[in-house]
Structure 1
Amino acid sequence: MTDVRRNVPALRGWRARFEDKLSRGSNSSIGLWFWEIDRVLLLLALLLVGIGLIAVAAASPASAVRYSGEAKQFASMHYFWRQALWVGLSLPVLFVVSMLPVSVARRMSIVGMAVCLVLVALAGFFGAEVNGARRWIGFGIASFQPSEFLKPFFIVTTAWFLSLRAKDESLPVIPLTGVLTVLVAALLMKQPDFGQTMIFGMVWIVLLMLAGISGRAIGFLGGLVVAGVISAYLFYDTARTRIDAFLFPDPAKAAADHYQTDMSHAVITAGGATGTGPGGGTVKFKLPEAHTDYIFSVVGEEFGLIACMGIAILYLAIVIRVLIKLLDEEDNFRLLAAAGLAAQFGLQALINMAVNTGLAPSKGMTLPFISYGGSSMIALSIGMGLLLAFTRRNPYLKRSPYTVRGN
């Protein structure tokens, strides 16, 4: 008791110093960060991370039994403990990146994109083969997926190129970003990774539209998208196989072609509106990749369709929050970078949920902050950290929505 009493003044002093650092008048880096950061956006992201840990805990027994054949208590929670480790490593990354000045974040992204582009190329040719695809570099716990890290860096770099149009419209930044996107797509299709290729392409188009390209150019891009899909179907076996299996299933192979989508639909609807309760799911044990690509279905079985709807609303809230934040943004680079990162985040979530509900063919894409995976968790933390860095605002700075944007 005496020791506790002795420590009370020290605890009060520590608390006072902490509160002083977070006060509005503080000039410390932590204090400035606290008042400039979008705390609502940060809270929504952390809420998704927390939901993800609960979801991985629910899916972990099914995946452990499926891949190891063990149902012991510790073994059944193997993926949960691993995910908790990744979360513990990722959150400091998110906070540190969110504290970076815009100029430093931009330079880091440009360098990161160059490095990740080389690593994606190496993965396609020399990476470890998993399920017929070469997307990984390294082995075991030391392996990582370079394309996950390439996404946020590619978006910020592309946004920087396109923001240069405001200074000099004669700069060939649109063709340059087009060449960069085609290069990334070619390297991803070599792996093959058609789902990630679609994400990069769609985000590039979103950035072009936000950069103010003409209506004729938008029409031309639409034609390119149609031509690209047709070409992929005709000349790219991975795309053709998945499209055929989804739209034109062979009756002799229907059970095999549609097993994942049919099973994910069965799992997500098994719990009804309110779910079977934590640990009560049984259909999930028949689902491949329950802890990664199809974790949304596991949430549906154990926590109900209402919980699935709540998760979808959270993703939508993050995207809307960013867009509202950007309504009066005066810096073209910040506008494009933040909007691009939000678009990538929302599109990836939308595609994963569409696959889980049977509205899209299987693409092997994780659900942001919820699916199991170290590469995905750390890369998403970098992306969210960059998004928070680009939406930081001085609380005393008055902005007008009628101010002309500039760099």
Structure 2
Amino acid sequence: MSTTLAGKLKAAPFMDASRYGRSDRSTAGRWFWEIDRVLLLLVTVLIGIGLIAVAAASPAAGQRYSGGTVTFAPLHYFYRQIIWIGVSVPVMIAISMMPRERAKKMSLIGAGLCIVALIFVPLVGPEVNGARRWLGVGFAQVQPSEFLKPFFIVASAWLLSLKDKDKGLPVFWISGGLTGLVAALLMMQPDFGSTIIFGSVWIAMLALAGLNLRILGVLSVAAVVGVVLAYFFYPVATVRIDGFLFGEGDNFQVENAMRTLTAGGLFGMGPGGGTRKFGLPEPHTDYIFSVIGEEFGLIACIAIAAIYLAIVVRVLIKLLDEEDSFALLAAAGLAAQFGLQALINMAVNVQLAPSKGMTLPFISYGGSSMLALSIGMGLLLAFTRRNPYLKRSPYVVKWSGDR
């Protein structure tokens, strides 16, 4: 490392561990010792991998969206991703420094604002590829459903945790009504994949809250019935499922992604050496995992999947001795949403799931996605912060909700 670079890192307040002794009671000092630094490191690694992957996919995306013109900057999306990271990472750090109560209040307000925005999306949002999921114009476009994901989880965790204070509160019905409202608004866009994520995470949180197993079974059956009904009566779901099961319609995208992913073998063709990526419809977003496979090999893909798994497992292990029911539900829900989104994206790329416009967390290009994921990870870091001097019993009896 050069002397200049070492000096810059030493000068950076959040990178120099020597600045913060355990007796430092400043906001930054408490943050440094309470934050899960392993989790933060894993997320930083993902962001770094994402920059490399976007740089690899940028020429293919640029050629596709510029009509093949030579004047288009090959690294256009890479440069823009740097800007989005420069905006998103400070937001993640700032949220991770919030006390739990302030993070909760922010999430409740954010959930309300995002639901209001979702109401307006089908009415005034621009249509892109047959769907209306955005608000705004040009560079200022945002996707409300992406920002709603972390806020919805925290709001649901708060609702479910109220049962611990008052057994008579109908928190199941209230949270179910909130989930149903969000699902209805998403289906109007249409966004069937995000609807599945919201519903799946809600059911997982109900299980953690100790809901009766028979009710969970009924909900699981209802979810399967819902998918079947969507297949018969929801055209978007019909097209996607037919394409996946019977090779019709846009199944070409998934097949092409699989061929691209395996084209590089175990170790890939090297940075910039891929050619099949130029045939992918969304090489820098939905199918960036395939670009990684072609240029850096299947070993790199397995390593990335392992990082996602490590993040989820790290959070769940961290929560084993959590005594606050709200923090337990919020952090577990955020980890589940993060892992499920990564799993769906990778499953599409390896032809195990129908085509779905869903980004790979912290790796795919995208402003709304990067900022929303940073908000979610900031909340997750805030809810898993621990006082290093607080001794916790390994025999804590967990809150179990209404059994």
The aligned counterpart of 2:42 is 44
The aligned counterpart of 1:7 is none
The amino acid that maps onto 1:65 is: Q
| CA distance, structure 2, for counterparts of residue 181 and residue 282 of structure 1 | 43
| Equivalent residue in structure 2 for 1:103, among 98, 101, 104 | 101
When residues 287 and 13 of structure 1 are mapped into structure 2, their CA distance, relative to the original with a 3 A threshold, is: closer
| Equivalent residue in structure 1 for 2:347, among 354, 358, 369 | 354
The amino acid that maps onto 1:191 is: Q
Q: Measure how far apart 1:87 and its partner are.
A: 0.4
Runs of 5+ unmatched residues, structure 1: 1-10
Q: Measure how far apart 1:13 and its partner are.
A: 11
Q: Measure how far apart 1:71 and its partner are.
A: 6.1
Tell me which moved more, 70-79 or 217-226: 70-79
Could you list the per-position Cα deviations for residues 110-151 of structure 1 after superposition, in whole angstroms to 9, with x for gaps in the alignment?
A: 000000001111112210111110001111111110100000
RMSD of aligned Cα (Å): 1.9
| Equivalent residue in structure 2 for 1:402, among 389, 392, 395 | 395
Q: Measure how far apart 1:288 and its partner are.
A: 0.6
When residues 72 and 14 of structure 1 are mapped into structure 2, their CA distance, relative to the original with a 3 A threshold, is: closer
The aligned counterpart of 1:242 is 240
Percent identical residues: 65
| CA distance, structure 2, for counterparts of residue 94 and residue 209 of structure 1 | 28
Q: Report if the CA contact (8 A) 2:251-2:355 is conserved.
A: no
Q: Measure how far apart 1:403 and its partner are.
A: 2.1
| CA distance, structure 1, for counterparts of residue 137 and residue 50 of structure 2 | 25
* Secondary structure, aligned partner of 2:270: coil
Tell me which moved more, 106-115 or 121-130: 121-130
Could you list the per-position Cα deviations for residues 363-407 of structure 1 after superposition, in whole angstroms to 9, with x for gaps in the alignment?
A: 100000000000000000000000000000000111012123469
| Equivalent residue in structure 2 for 1:326, among 286, 303, 319 | 319
| CA distance, structure 2, for counterparts of residue 134 and residue 19 of structure 1 | 46
When residues 19 and 205 of structure 1 are mapped into structure 2, their CA distance, relative to the original with a 3 A threshold, is: closer
Q: Measure how far apart 1:323 and its partner are.
A: 0.3
* Secondary structure, aligned partner of 1:134: coil
The aligned counterpart of 1:224 is 222
Q: Report if the CA contact (8 A) 1:21-1:28 is conserved.
A: no
Q: Report if the CA contact (8 A) 1:274-1:306 is conserved.
A: yes
1:362-377 to structure 2, matched below 5 A, reads: 362-377=355-370
The amino acid that maps onto 1:364 is: G
Could you list the per-position Cα deviations for residues 77-115 of structure 1 after superposition, in whole angstroms to 9, with x for gaps in the alignment?
A: 100001110001000000000000000000000000000
The amino acid that maps onto 1:328 is: D
The aligned counterpart of 2:118 is 120
The aligned counterpart of 1:386 is 379
Q: Report if the CA contact (8 A) 2:62-2:72 is conserved.
A: no
Runs of 5+ unmatched residues, structure 2: 1-8
The amino acid that maps onto 1:164 is: L
The aligned counterpart of 1:182 is 180
1:306-321 to structure 2, matched below 5 A, reads: 306-321=299-314
The amino acid that maps onto 2:115 is: L
The aligned counterpart of 2:4 is none
The aligned counterpart of 1:8 is none
* Secondary structure, aligned partner of 2:127: strand
| CA distance, structure 1, for counterparts of residue 194 and residue 322 of structure 2 | 29
The amino acid that maps onto 1:259 is: F
| TM-score normalised over the length of structure 1 | 0.93
The amino acid that maps onto 2:262 is: T
When residues 259 and 20 of structure 1 are mapped into structure 2, their CA distance, relative to the original with a 3 A threshold, is: closer
| CA distance, structure 1, for counterparts of residue 12 and residue 242 of structure 2 | 63
| TM-score normalised over the length of structure 2 | 0.94
| CA distance, structure 1, for counterparts of residue 113 and residue 67 of structure 2 | 39
| CA distance, structure 2, for counterparts of residue 248 and residue 168 of structure 1 | 51
Could you list the per-position Cα deviations for residues 39-74 of structure 1 after superposition, in whole angstroms to 9, with x for gaps in the alignment?
A: 000000011000000000000000101110346587
The aligned counterpart of 1:67 is 65
- Radius of gyration: which is bigger? 1
Q: How many residues align?
A: 391
Could you list the per-position Cα deviations for residues 6-29 of structure 1 after superposition, in whole angstroms to 9, with x for gaps in the alignment?
A: xxxxx99999xx767511110100
The amino acid that maps onto 2:159 is: F
Could you list the per-position Cα deviations for residues 266-303 of structure 1 after superposition, in whole angstroms to 9, with x for gaps in the alignment?
A: 10011000000000000100111000000000000000
2:22 counterpart of 1:29: no
| Equivalent residue in structure 1 for 2:282, among 282, 289, 295 | 289
